[in-house]
Structures are given as structure tokens and as C-alpha cells.
Structure 1
């Protein structure tokens, strides 16, 4: 199988060969020593030496043909009837024959006869309108080749490619006969006109098939086959002249097929309601098609059908079809319409650059009466000073604004990851980074099935695996549905993933360093401070020993907190009950303990903070009030843990000490996301702590 490059070069070679063939045919058309023009309702000829005369007839010395301005028509199918069209071709056939035989005479309104001499047509005599039509048709075909060759073999792609073929057929045929000097072989004129009709009908049928199958394929093939069958029927009716008028045999069919194709865009719009990527591509396609065909339909087909006005110049209107293909070219880059890469537009931009230089040179040559070197210099200056800067500006404005450079996406991804780390949401760092960089409409997580970053469905979805967590992120519709994913996005996603792994490793290394330092401090406190507190306990009197024991308990809790180990709520409750019971015994108070068993796991920091709050509440009750009965209730409802500490020793005036302790408990509760309330309830003092738990069930 040929490589992509070889196939593209082959296609471009065939297009160039077709263009040379069209030029060769145009050069075979005869020229003469006279220039014919229309003046009001008369045919005027500019003679080489005698000035301008009004032509009333042509003669070969034996027969005479009337001379009318109708013979100058660019497009003969605007005539009302096929009989007029046949008479038009027959007249041109005879005039071309008489000119070739050297017997053609021009008869003016004074019955003077002037011989018309045949001349060989030169390449420089081909008018600018010929080149404009031919080059536009070839350019449209080149675009279709560059789409069709690398794209997947789908019905919509085939139909789009056929529109390019039909465009170059009808535009090149019209370029030859519409820019004739005056004389043309009747048989060649008939053949070229038929080729023009063939291409126009095929264009409408292919465009209709494309609209019904892009971006969503119509479920039934019979509709597409019906468009091409209609094309076949229409061309038979037209060329066989089964009806009286070209309006009924040609123009109505072209317009009818085109309108039926536009109905496909309505169907596509309904089918892409939930697919922003497809709808965006469809919108671009419809705008391009309407922009490219509306001028021709309004300026040529409708006036010919209604016979209400003189149709506009066909040659100029044909060039508007190129707007459609240029719109497709822009859509390839902006919305990746046919799953092509940006290199496609780069190649096309290069081709258009050369074309623009050539057309600018031709335009200046026609508009300015300057020598060849002067016009070439001016065209090069205009290209260098105007075209290239304008092209680069438009390229950057329209296409590069979605391409993020390294500093841009790094500035978006890194803060998101670091914020997730600071918020103790390490697992959310990747999600926040992907959201910040790509701004997808939806992002989901699923088990990892593939370890490669890829785009599975024409750019609507980006799959980013995260091997460290054994999961895959699925992003849909980039930039809030404003564009679709491309190959550059896979590279950016790979860099985001690498950055996330680096941040994760840095976080792990930091946590490891903190843990090692905590363990070192813990060992020092256990070995030094713990030993000294035990010595102090043995040497203390009975009145100070409870205080030393509380200090030892505090040290143990602190050391346990520094270990960073989790603990079940049930085990924590037992420890709290044991410690509170011992303290009540030391102060001669009765303990009423109520707790419900729970398998919830407390984190080390949660256990430490809850222990200190409970201890502070018990201390306030035992030391700063005449408490005889202390009641502690521990219960969990959902994810909220509630501690209620009540005592019967409350006084009307509370000392300053308990107030400071209550403020400390309130501060610790807020640290855990909860709150602390204290009040009198039926002659008892109550402290109520409510704390949400972030741990899981075991």
C-alpha cells in the first residue's frame, strides 16, 4: 500500500494534469482579428483599422446568420427553452466552421462586409476570469484530496470528496466556454455545457449525501442511493431534453436536490443534541456550505428559474464555492472535522500562499498598465508587507489561542495540585489539575483498563490513566464543549500526569521526613521526660501524685498522637472511660458512663483532640465545681460524634478558670469542623461537643 505522502502527491499530480488539460482545450478555441462586445441590444465589433461597427449578420458568401448579443452569453442554459439552446449551439457551430474555412464575413448596419481572420490563441490571451474559475475549481479538488486521502473510509468523506470532483468539473468547463473570445466549436460547446450540467447535478447530490451523513451517519443507505439515483435521472432528462425548458430539466433539479440536502442538516441538528463536539462541527459545516452556495443560488439559479432578471456573471459566482471548502479547511484545524491533524492546514496554507501571489500578480497586471517586472515587484511587496503578516495574525488569533504553552498549563495545573495537597485531598489533585488545564464538560473516574493516554472517539473524549492509583480519568468535551481533543492534548495530559506524580512523590517524601522527625522527638520525650515523670511520681506525696499521673497520661496521649496511628471509636471510648473513672475516684465523685459501640475509625489527630476536649471538660467539672455525680454520654449519629458531659456541682458564679477551659474546647472543636456548647440544664452544668468524623467504617 502506498504511503500517505505518496498518495497525496499522486492526487495533486492528477489535479495538476487535469488543469493543464483544461488550459490546452482553452487554447484550441479560435481567436480572430476582431473584438466583439454588447452595446445595449446590439452586437458591436472593434475592427483592426476601421474602428467600431454594429454587426447585424454573419455570412460566408452563400448563407447569412443574424447577429444578436445572445451569442455573447457566458452561460447558454439561462435561455428559456432547449430549442433556443440548440439554435445557439448550431449558430456557433456554423460560425466556427466558416472562420476555420476562411470564408467568414461580418455585415454591418450599412451592409458593408468585413472579412474575419482566424488567429491562434496564445496563453497570455486567456483572460483572468478563466484563471480564476479554473484555479478555484482545482483548489476545491485539492482540499477534498487532502481530506479524503488521510481520513477514514466513511460515506460522508466519500461524498465530500465527490463534491470536490464535481466542482472542478463544472467550474473548469464553464471557465473554457464562458471566457471564449467569441468563436467556439458548436460540438465542443455542447460537450462542455453537458459536462457543466453533469458536475452541477453531481455536486448537489453529493452535498446532500454529505449533509445527511455528517457528523452522524443516516441509518438507511437508501437515502444516499436515492440522491445519486436522482442525479442520474436528472442528467438523462437534461441531456435528452425530455422537457421543454432548462429550468424544468436542469435548474429545478439542482435546487431541489440541494434543498433536500439542507433538510439533512436539520436532522443532524436533532441527532447531536447531547454531543457538543458533533454539533460544533455541524454548525461550522452548515455555515460554510451556506456561505459558499447562497451567492450562486441567488445570483444565477433563481434568476434563471424565475426569468425575472439577467443572471449575474457565472464566472465570479463560481468562485464563491471556494468559500465552502475554505470553511472546511478552517474547520479541520478549529474543530478537527475529519479527524485530521493541524499539518493539513499548514500544507493548505502553503498552497494558498502561492496561489495568492499568482492572483495578485495577475490582478495588478490587468489593473495597472505597467511592465511585467514592475507588477511582479508590486505583488511581491504586497505579499510580504500585507498578506504574510495578516495570515500569521489570523492563524494566531483563530487557531493558536487554544494551544497552551508549557508555562500556561503549568500555571494552571501546579496550583491546583498544591491546593489539593494543602486541603488534605491528595487524591483530588489529578482531577483538579485536569479540570484546570482542559476545562471539560464532564470528568469521571473508572478502573484502569489501559495504561496509554488516548482519544477514542474522534476527539470528544480524552482517556488519562493514573497508574499510581490504578484508575483512569475520562474527560469529555474540552474547553466546556468549545472544541474537541487533539494529539497535542495527549502530550499535555502526559506532562500533567508526570507533574502529578512528581508532586505526589514530593508529598510522600515530605510526609516521610515529618514522620521520621516526629519519631525522633517522640523517642527523646519518652526516654527523657517520661523517665523524669516516673521518678517524680515515686517521690511525690499522696496529694500531688494525681497531678503527676495526669501529666503522665498527657505525655502518653501526646506520644500516641505523634505515632500517627488510627484507633477505633470503640477502643477510644474504653480508654476515655477508664481514665475518667480513675479521675472521678481520685476526687470522690460518681461516674455515670453511657456509650454506644461503633466500628468507626478515628484518625490520630481526631483521637488526640477529642481526648483533650473530654479531659478539659472533666477537669472543669471535678476541680472548679462541687461535683458529686459526673455523667458522660458518647453517641454517634451518622458521621457526627456527640460528647455530652454533665455535672451537678454547678454554682451561680463561675470562676475564670472554667471560662478559659471552655474557650480552649471550643477552639479544638472548630479545628475538627465541629462546635462546643455549654449551658445550664435543669440545675446541672452541661458541655455538649459535636464533631464530624472524616474516618471510615471498618
Structure 2
């Protein structure tokens, strides 16, 4: 195991695939290394009306085969039978339906098996005779002899579908076992799964050769292939028994894990040495007992996984696949042979039941993360399959239509790119059930949560969002969640709250049909981040609204309220009208400022000058208005309102307390600041005697709130008020 730990999973899986392909090629070579007549023989004819016959029924004759090319009228098909085969040395063997027996271990005794292998060897020897063979064909009660020269090699196209089925099942079982083992090499469960996959391959490959033979194989080869078939079957049993001893819950200590191998290994020795009466006791009984042991272990695991939902989910998927797949093979092939009634289905077709086992394992990895494997495991598998397809296509093209290697490889690469890559994505969606969530829909739901007022409705929408995104079986509040995280190997997902919303624990993804994956954890991070940003944006918006409301309230209090109060107590009608007009003007400014946050500097000053000049004209005071600016500009709301408030308040204070003859107003706009000066020639006052809360304090508060400076100087020559504050944004227009 230390040696294997040095290699990456894709390297080990590629090596396992290459080894299995080489073994499959060897089996293909053995299947083709037969003398070929071109006859499709059946032990029982497929006729609507039963007919009695001798020998083997000739169901069909292959096109361009030696049997089809023999001189004369030709061998009749579908109406005749092959009753004998003879060689040039006058040897002749009468054929019987037993000569086409798929599996010799269906015989009752080992002696019968040895006699069968000897007979097969004799028939194969006749087929290999130099000078051709003599076929005795019975037709309408008469037997006619045909001389045929068998081809030295069987064409690959003549191999029946059952051959490729068994080869495919063996490859699939071994590949899937090697795939999972390469990703979890240090665990006993994956080692046993690999052992079971290897056993399936060792059993299926030899069976593919001898169960699809045309007529006969050399006896020694047949015997060796049958032995390996038995070894593979019991190895599969050892792997599956060991798997359910440790997965999903360990049932025994490591010292007992070798016990199934010792028992079935000893039984295998009895079978190889033929120490029992026959294969029923020496082989079939061992297979049946191994299957029963698997069923018992699945039942025990089902009991001990009570209270462990993740383990129970893994057991339900894997145990069902093994019991149904392997159990169906035992029930249709092995058990009938033990009872002496013969297999119910062809052995080549029955091997497809084992494919259910490994397809179930692969789907279990996708749905329940069996053996703690996630979606990245499938990416490795699809990568290796793509490389294998590339190599196989390259070899096929070189052998068939393309002579040069470089063009063949380029064409293979193009075919894989155009065909396999789209197919791989489709398989990923089907196997992994990737349901891509609409990001637009999730964003709308997140915004609904963020814009809902805090309270139960907002919490309910947050919970509904999580239920829609992950479809958990249950959702419970979790106050201590800090970051999205998988819990119990994906059994649950912790999702934190944001902006005062509670966190939740989501259990059993997709309605309990799968575990949470790293993809789900990434989606949880995305949702919580999106929600936090949306809540911050809403908070900033509400803060801005509150500040605007506060400004409006302050403006109404400082200006509108004071002016209306002054108008109410004014005795002169003209004075009252003027103050009401000023109040309406201020109210208009407040409304305009709320709807038009950016004001033109020139327009604002023109409006302000008109108001101030009206006041001073009514009071008989001269005004000098000076403006210094680099050009037209757009003034921010806060700066414009501060300019108006300071100038108005300073002028009103001068008129009220100083009895001036003239007032000079100077406004200067620099690149990053505004400077105001309001000076009068009135009687002046003592600034130290001014109490907090009057107009001076309001002006100072407005200027300092913008980071500016405010200064008041007063004496016998009059009063001078200066203010300077920065302008954060001044947009100069062209």
C-alpha cells in the first residue's frame, strides 16, 4: 500500500484500466484462436412446431464462412442438424446437445466434467486436423457428408453479443472497484470492493471465452478457464462479505477480516483438487452460502445503523444493489444447477445482473456520497474514460482505415472532443442530478429578504429561501453558526444568519435523497454574502433617509418655525407679509433641496441675493454683494444649505441687533472650499455675552458639522462673521 500511495488517483485508475484492457485483449485472442466453421449451432431449435432431431441444430450459416463456401448444394440451415464430425484419419464423433453446454460445472460429478473436457479436446483436435473435416448433416431423415476446411482464426465479427456482455461486465466491475479504491486507498471497505471487482472480472472473462465457443475448445484450455471462473466467483464473494463486515459500520475486529478468505479459499482448494463428489458441493454450495452470508450481513448492518441516517442511507443503496444483482445471478444460474434443474437464463445474459451491483455503487456515490466520495470522483472517472476512448479509437483507425499514426491520432482526438465531451457533460447531469439554480431567482429572493422589515416575516422569507435552494428534509434554528460548513460528512449543512437573522441547520439534502456536498457549502457562502451586502445596502439607505428627515425637521424648526412665529407677533402688516413671503420661499427651498440634491452655485446665489436684497431694501440698509468663483459649478446639498443658512442668519442678526447702515456679503468658491463673510457697520456686541441656543450657535453648528471653521468678530465699528468649510464634491460644468 505504501507503493500505491505515491501515485495520484488518475494514474492508478489509468493503470488498472490498462491492465484490464490487456486481459480483455488476451481473452479476445483466445476466443478468436479457434478453428471456425461458420455454423451457428443450437442445442435446442427455436421452432414454432417442435421437431425431433439428432446432434446439434444448425440455426444459421455465417456469410463468407467455410461452411457457406463448401462446394455442392451447400449445407442447409434452419432445417438440418449436425450429427457428426470426423477427420481425415477416419476418426468421427457423434455430436450431442451436451457438447454445447455453456457451463461444465452444471454436471453432477467431477468425473463427468473431466469426461466433458476430454470430449471437447477430441473435437477440437479434429477441427485442427490438416486437410479439413467431414461434417455429417442430417436433412429429412438422411445424413449427408460435407468436406469443410475450417479457418484457422475465428473472425471478431462472429463473436456473439453475450461474449461482449461478459467482457463489458467484467471491465465495468473492475473499473468501478479500482476507481473507488484509487480515491480511498487506506480504507478496508474500498479494498474489499476492489477485490470483488477483480473477482468479477476474473470470473466473467474466462466465461466469455468458453460459453460463446462455436463448438469446442482444447480440453486443457477449457479446464483452466473454468477453474479461473470459479476462482473469480469465490473472490467476488470474499470481497462482498468483507465489504459488509466493515461498511458502513465495522462489525468485527481487523483480525477477523481474513476469515471469509480462509473459508472460501479452502473451499476453492477442494474444488480445484476435486476432493468433493461434484461441483455442486465443491463450488455451487460455496457460492450460495456466500450469498446467504452477504444477505445476513446486510440485515445486521441494517440493525446496527439504526440512529445513523447517513450510514443507513449508504446501506440501503449499496446493500440493495448487491442483494438484487448478485442474488439474481445465484437464483437464475447457480441455485438451479445445485438443484439439478439447469439454469433459467444463459450465463452470458445472467452476468448482466452483476452490472446492477456496480451501477448501483456508482449511483450511490453520486446520490449518497458512498465511501465519502464527492462529485470530483466522477471528474476523475470521466477523464480516464476519455483517455481510454482516445486510445481505443486510435488503435481502431490504424487497424482499419488510416495507415499513418499521426492522422489517426488527430482524427481520434477530434472524435473524442466532438462526441465524448458533450456526452460526458450529459452523463454528469444525469448521474449527479445537477439542477442548476437560477441565480436571478436567488438574487430576487435575497432582495426580498433584505427589503422585508425585520421581524417574523423576514425570518420566514430567509428560511423559505434556504428551503428552496437546498430542499432539506428538516430545518432547525442554530444560534452558534459562524460560517457555512458541512456537518457529519454531509449529513447536514450549517448556514449562518446575517444582519440579525438567525442561522439554520439543514438536514438531509434534496428531501433526504442525498448528502450535502462542497458545492452546497459554496452556494451557502454565496447566499449569506449576498444577503449581508443587501442588508448593508438597505441599512445605508435607511440611514440616509433618516438623516434627510432630520435635516428637513431641523430646517423647518430653525427657519420656518422661527419666521412664522416672528410673522405672528409682527405688528406691521407690511412686515408680516414680507416674513410670510420669506417663509414660503424657505419652504420651497426645503422641498426643492429634498428632490434636487445638487444645486447650481450661480442659481442658488442669485436666489439668495434676491431674498437678502428684499430684506435690506425694506429696512433701508445698503447691500454690497461680492462673489468670487472660477466658473459655473454644481454645489452639493449640504454645502448649498449651509451657505443660505449662514448668510440669512447673519443678515437677520445684523438687522435685529446692530442697526447697520450697510452690509457687505462676500462669497468665494475655491477648488475645494467655500469662504463666507458677512460684515456690517452697526453698533456691534460682546461675543462672550451671547448665550447658547441663538442664531450664532446654529450657524457655528452647521459649519463645524461640515468640518469647517466659524469666527465672529464684533466691536464699535460693527460685526464681522466669517465661515469657511470644505466642499467634498464640486462638479465644474463646461
Q: 1:204 aligns with which of 229, 237, 253?
A: 237
**Do the aligned partners of residues 20 and 477 (structure 1) sit closer, same or farther apart at CA in structure 2, a change above 3 Å counting?**
same
1:202 Cα deviation from its structure 2 partner: 1.1
1:424 Cα deviation from its structure 2 partner: 7.0
Structure-to-structure mapping, 1:548-559, within 5 angstroms: none
1:60 Cα deviation from its structure 2 partner: 7.9
**Do the aligned partners of residues 432 and 100 (structure 1) sit closer, same or farther apart at CA in structure 2, a change above 3 Å counting?**
closer
Tell me the residue number matched to 1:80: 108
**Do the aligned partners of residues 490 and 32 (structure 1) sit closer, same or farther apart at CA in structure 2, a change above 3 Å counting?**
same
Separation in 1 of the partners of 2:465 and 2:450?
Answer: 6
Separation in 2 of the partners of 1:401 and 1:417?
Answer: 28
Separation in 2 of the partners of 1:258 and 1:142?
Answer: 22
Q: Give the conservation status (yes or no) of the 8 Å contact 2:109–2:277.
A: yes
1:190 Cα deviation from its structure 2 partner: 0.8
Tell me the residue number matched to 1:675: none
Tell me the residue number matched to 1:124: 156
Separation in 2 of the partners of 1:269 and 1:530?
Answer: 81
Tell me the residue number matched to 2:515: 484
Tell me the residue number matched to 1:455: 486
Q: 2:529 aligns with which of 490, 498, 512?
A: 498
Structure-to-structure mapping, 1:55-66, within 5 angstroms: 55=83, 61=89
Q: 1:38 aligns with which of 25, 43, 46?
A: 43
Separation in 2 of the partners of 1:301 and 1:190?
Answer: 19
1:152 Cα deviation from its structure 2 partner: 5.6
Deviations 1:284-308 (A, max 9, x none): 2233224423432232112101112
Tell me the residue number matched to 1:193: 226
Residue 298 of structure 1 pairs with residue 331 of structure 2: yes
Separation in 1 of the partners of 2:289 and 2:449?
Answer: 56
Tell me the residue number matched to 1:242: 275
Separation in 1 of the partners of 2:102 and 2:202?
Answer: 17
Q: Give the conservation status (yes or no) of the 8 Å contact 1:106–1:116.
A: yes
**Do the aligned partners of residues 34 and 115 (structure 1) sit closer, same or farther apart at CA in structure 2, a change above 3 Å counting?**
farther
Structure-to-structure mapping, 1:25-174, within 5 angstroms: 25-32=30-37, 37-38=42-43, 42-44=54-56, 48-49=70-71, 51=75, 54-55=82-83, 61=89, 67-100=95-128, 102=130, 117-128=149-160, 129-151=162-184, 153-174=186-207
Aligned Cα root-mean-square deviation (Å) = 4.4
**Do the aligned partners of residues 435 and 443 (structure 1) sit closer, same or farther apart at CA in structure 2, a change above 3 Å counting?**
farther
Structure-to-structure mapping, 1:587-602, within 5 angstroms: none
Deviations 1:41-77 (A, max 9, x none): 7323866456356535767858776543212111111
Separation in 2 of the partners of 1:287 and 1:335?
Answer: 14
Structure index of larger Rg: 2
Q: Give the conservation status (yes or no) of the 8 Å contact 1:30–1:121.
A: yes
TM-score, with normalisation over the residues of structure 1?
Answer: 0.63
Tell me the residue number matched to 1:619: none
**Do the aligned partners of residues 417 and 203 (structure 1) sit closer, same or farther apart at CA in structure 2, a change above 3 Å counting?**
farther
Separation in 2 of the partners of 1:112 and 1:199?
Answer: 44
Tell me the residue number matched to 1:21: 26
Q: Give the conservation status (yes or no) of the 8 Å contact 1:277–1:483.
A: no
**Do the aligned partners of residues 294 and 392 (structure 1) sit closer, same or farther apart at CA in structure 2, a change above 3 Å counting?**
farther
Structure-to-structure mapping, 1:503-652, within 5 angstroms: 503-520=534-551, 523=554
Residue 229 of structure 1 pairs with residue 229 of structure 2: no
TM-score, with normalisation over the residues of structure 2?
Answer: 0.60
**Do the aligned partners of residues 448 and 165 (structure 1) sit closer, same or farther apart at CA in structure 2, a change above 3 Å counting?**
same
Separation in 1 of the partners of 2:107 and 2:366?
Answer: 43
Q: Give the conservation status (yes or no) of the 8 Å contact 2:53–2:81.
A: no
1:37 Cα deviation from its structure 2 partner: 4.4
> Helix, strand or coil for the counterpart of 1:475?
strand
Structure-to-structure mapping, 1:338-357, within 5 angstroms: 338-342=371-375, 344-345=377-378
Q: Which runs of 5+ in 1 are unaligned?
A: 359-386, 539-698
Q: 2:9 aligns with which of 4, 16, 26?
A: 4
Structure-to-structure mapping, 1:670-689, within 5 angstroms: none
Q: Give the conservation status (yes or no) of the 8 Å contact 1:412–1:437.
A: no
Separation in 1 of the partners of 2:554 and 2:135?
Answer: 123
Tell me the residue number matched to 2:697: none
